[in-house]
Chains A and B, each alone.
Chain A
Amino acid sequence: MSSSRSADGKWPWLFVLPTFLGVLVFYLWPLVKTLYDSFTETGPFGGATWVGAANYSQLVGDSEVYRAILNTIVYTAIVLLGIPIAVLIASLLNRPGLRGAMVYRTLFFLPYVAMPTAISLVWRIIYNGDYGVLNQALGVIGIDGPSWITQPWFALVAVALLGLWLVIGFNMIVLSAGLKGIPAELYEAAALDGASRAQQFRSITVPLLTPSIFFLSVITTIAGFQLFDQLFALLGPANPVMPKTQSLVFLFYDAAFVGNERGYAAAVAVLILLVVGLLTLFQFRLQRRWVNYD
């Protein structure tokens, strides 16, 4: 603005340098270091030797990596269901004259503010195969529930349902903000033309919400591929089912801090970076086809 270089003098540096140096030391340098480390191998007495692309070829040949990617896809797909569910809830909450909207909003949002690791313990007990209330409820309608936490696919679904439950409130808030941006006149005009509620929803609400839906699908996918907290807290790191349900981040954690294979772990981290980057790019490419900006 009106501030000139001479007027500000040394002040800008005092303002910027603490953050910039912190970012340099704790983020930018680590980024470079991880890229470098991914081409090295940790020796038995510490120290690292350059091994070229060995970690990456190990990665490509590692069936655990493919399993982890597949698990993450299944998990993300289930959590993405949180978007249509939240569209429904947000549009119900947005109805004119609906009483108690604030109460509903609070209740739906509560899981998002709860600590995932604490609430995972609660879910673990709800999912319990012997006395868990979920299987008791399924029993009432004649279904013999599985042992959720100890069978690979069921455990993965259990983690994903927890993830879905956690994220709906956040989706709802973002979509409610999007709904507020839709002018009421559009609905009035449509109603005058004789459009039913369902038709209005399909031809006004959904198209005009596509920017919010797009934003949510991008961040849900990014978060999905970084699955760790719910998996770790719900199943427990020592769970025998873990090799079959683990995510890329768990694989990374295990290699880096349990197995002490830093080079390989760095390569897994680079893989996560690539996958997340490509998926985001892909979604941005695709957005022209379905996202409505005007």
Chain B
Amino acid sequence: MTRRSDRERLGSNRLAHVVLTIGSLVMMFPFLWQLKMAFSSQAEIQAIPPDLLPKGLEWSNFSEVFQRLPFLSQFWVSVAVTLGRTVGQLLLCSLAGYAFARMSFRFKAVMLALILSILMVPSQVYLIPQYQIVQRLGWLDSIQGIIAPGIFSAFGTFLMMQFFKTIPVELEEAARLDGCNPWQTFWKVVLPVAKPGLTSLAIITVLTSWADLLWPLVVTSSPEEMPLAVGLATLSGYEGSISPGVMMAAALMAMAPILILFVVLQRRVVEGIAFSGLK
């Protein structure tokens, strides 16, 4: 009986492997193709029929990226924006989330309701006034302009609030008895325990900031001040002037940091997404 069902299971797992392998090849193909194209010469790229493997390694596409595009400055804008937003959100969202989870104060319910109400509104609804505020501040074409609205997050506040509610109160009470004020309790006792929640929020913020298009597209106009996501998006349609191989090399270098981060932190990323996805 067990032997038969073992054999059945093996047999049907074989079918599962076939389906999953074909599926993962489809998912992987654009990445593999990009890798191949980034190392191909112009002639190879436009060869019909295409060779599935590159003939040699054509490194010139990569060096040409730096000559044809302001890649480095865009890269640093992306890094600065992503860091700024992530650090800002981790601090502000955990502060506010902690207060909503644990403290009592006037207008708490109203303030929480107001903050959460923006979760349901598509971001385009805010976009023009946000642009006008940033313009008024003189922050167009600047890193702080790209960072600005994104450090305030209703989603992050909610996520952290829910997380703090799961931490046992006794910890904080002990700290309070030891004479910690609320800030010390928060900074020294609560935050260190909140690492899983902070990691989740950090991962989601890093992913979305690195990829964000519409807002930075609107507030930046000079190529040097754009993050990579915008720089690359505006490349599409330039096939005439910039060769596909160079585009592929640029896209590959732009994605590399986030892909490496994902592969290193894989389990945490998956848990973080599942955690935030299910609330």
What residues of chain A have their CB less than 8 Å away from a CB belonging to chain B?
1-5, 8, 11-16, 18-20, 22-31, 33-34, 37, 88-89, 92-93, 95-100, 104-126, 130-131, 133, 136, 165, 168-170, 173-174, 176-177, 197, 212, 215, 222, 225-226, 228-229, 232-239, 249, 252-253, 256-257, 262, 265-266, 268-270, 272-273, 276-277, 280
Chain B residues near A123 (CB-CB < 8 A): 30
B20 adjacent to A126 (CB under 8 Å): no
Given A15-B95, A92-B19, A170-B273, A33:B129 Cβ within 8 A: yes
Residue interface mask B119-130, A partner, CB < 8 A = 1? 011111111111
B152 adjacent to A26 (CB under 8 Å): yes
Q: Separation in Å of the A276 CB from the closest CB of chain B? A: 6
Chain A residues near B232 (CB-CB < 8 A): 115, 117-118, 121, 233
B48 adjacent to A136 (CB under 8 Å): yes
Q: Separation in Å of the A55 CB from the closest CB of chain B? A: 13
Of the candidates A100, A225, A256, A272, the one whose C-beta lies within 8 Å of that of B128 is: A256
The complex places the Cα of A177 from the Cα of B12 at a distance, in Å, of 23
Any A CB within 8 A of the CB of B39: no
CB contacts between A and B, total, < 8 Å: 301
Any A CB within 8 A of the CB of B7: no
Of the candidates B13, B157, B250, B255, the one whose C-beta lies within 8 Å of that of A19 is: B157
B214 adjacent to A229 (CB under 8 Å): yes
Of the candidates A3, A89, A110, A177, the one whose C-beta lies within 8 Å of that of B20 is: A89
Q: Is the interface of A mostly helix, strand, loop or mixed?
A: helix
Given A16-B111, A131-B50, A226-B124, A120:B154 Cβ within 8 A: no
Residue interface mask B214-243, A partner, CB < 8 A = 1? 100110000000001110111111010000
Any A CB within 8 A of the CB of B254: yes
20 extra interchain contacts, Cβ-Cβ under 8 A, other than A111-B27, A174-B273?
Answer: A5-B106, A11-B182, A15-B103, A16-B99, A16-B100, A20-B114, A22-B152, A23-B118, A27-B152, A34-B128, A97-B13, A111-B30, A115-B229, A119-B34, A120-B233, A133-B50, A229-B233, A235-B237, A249-B214, A257-B218
Chain A residues near B144 (CB-CB < 8 A): none
Chain B residues near A116 (CB-CB < 8 A): 211, 213, 229
